[in-house]
C-alpha cells in the first residue's frame, strides 16, 4: 500500500529551475522510451528494457524512465521543514516545504 502525503514545495528560483530541468529531461526520456516501444512493438517492460536501458543510463536515468518522487529520492528534514530532492545534476538540498500538521505526522511515522 502506498501512502500519499500532500506537501507544497517552496523552492528558490535557482532550485525551481533545477527541478524543472530535471522534469523536462525525465519527460523527454519517457517520450523516447514510448517511441522505442512502439518502433519495436514491445508492450512489456522486461522486453523493453533490452531496447531502452542503455539509452536511459546514458542520459543519467534509471530504467523506469518516469520519475516518481518517493522515499527513494527524497530526504526530509522535518524540524527545518526542508527536503533534499534527487535531480539529474545532483541533489537539490534545503528546499523548503509546508504541509498540514497531519501530513507532517504521516511523513514522520511512515517514512
Give pLDDT tens digits along the chain (111 positions): 888 899 999 999 999 999 999 999 999 998 999 999 999 999 888 888 889 989 888 888 877 676 778 778 899 999 999 999 999 889 999 999 999 999 999 999 987
Give the pLDDT score at 89.
87
Amino acid 110: pLDDT:
87
Q: Which bin fits 3, alpha (ψ -120 to 50), beta or left (φ > 0)?
A: beta
Q: Give the domain ranges of the chain.
A: 8-109
Give the residue carrying C-alpha cell 512502439.
38
Say if residues 57 and 73 touch (Cβ distance below 8 Å).
no
pLDDT at 43: 80
Amino acid at each position: 500500500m502506498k501512502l500519499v502525503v500532500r506537501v507544497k514545495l517552496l523552492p528558490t528560483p535557482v532550485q525551481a529551475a533545477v527541478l524543472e530541468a530535471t522534469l523536462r529531461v525525465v519527460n523527454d526520456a519517457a517520450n523516447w522510451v514510448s517511441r522505442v516501444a512502439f518502433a519495436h512493438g514491445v508492450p512489456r517492460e522486461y522486453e523493453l528494457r533490452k531496447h531502452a536501458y542503455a539509452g536511459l543510463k546514458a542520459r543519467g536515468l534509471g530504467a523506469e524512465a518516469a520519475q516518481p518522487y518517493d522515499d527513494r529520492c527524497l530526504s526530509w528534514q522535518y524540524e527545518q521543514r526542508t527536503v533534499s530532492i534527487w535531480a539529474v545534476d545532483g541533489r537539490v538540498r534545503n528546499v523548503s516545504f509546508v504541509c498540514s500538521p497531519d501530513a507532517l505526522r504521516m511523513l514522520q511515522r511512515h517514512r
